[in-house]
């Protein structure tokens, strides 16, 4: 997740239509990878008969994943360069960028907290 989303942030900074679309694709790929990881962890817990989402690391991970889904939805619905319903709104763009930066920091923090 963090790798794709970090690359997505750098790609967006390059500017331009194609980079903006690649930014969205990479960000959403990161979300899909994190959902795949969540599925694998959930299935592993089922196999071993362990309780789910009991640690702070697990709860923070769920919060980060849900937040990433929300950021992706806002980006896709409001800011998409082709059909975004409010793609020129600077307030939404600023909120999306600021929230995503915090999300990346929270993702790194959650990842390191699990070790």
Taking only the tens place, the pLDDT of each residue in 84-104 is: 999 999 999 999 999 999 999
Closest CA to 107 of 39, 5, 11: 5
Question: Cβ distance 48 to 76 under 8 Å?
Answer: no
Cα-based distances in Å from 41 to 52, 53, 91, 103: 9, 10, 37, 21
pTM for the whole thing?
0.91
Sign of torsion, CA 40 113 94 11? Answer: negative
Question: Among all chains, which residue has been given the structure tokens 């309780």?
Answer: 51
Taking only the tens place, the pLDDT of each residue in 16-38 is: 999 999 999 999 999 999 999 99
Alpha-carbon distance 115 to 112, whole Å? 6
């Amino acid at each position: 997740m963090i790798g794709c989303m970090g690359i997505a942030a750098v790609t967006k900074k390059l500017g331009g239509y194609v980079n903006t679309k690649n930014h969205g694709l990479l960000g959403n790929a990161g979300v899909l990878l994190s959902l795949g990881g969540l599925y694998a962890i959930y299935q592993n817990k089922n196999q071993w008969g362990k309780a789910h989402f009991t640690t702070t690391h697990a709860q923070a991970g769920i919060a980060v994943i849900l937040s990433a889904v929300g950021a992706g939805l806002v980006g896709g619905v409001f800011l998409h360069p082709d059909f975004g319903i409010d793609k020129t709104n600077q307030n939404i763009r600023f909120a999306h960028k600021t929230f995503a930066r915090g999300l990346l920091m929270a993702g790194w923090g959650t990842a390191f907290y699990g070790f």
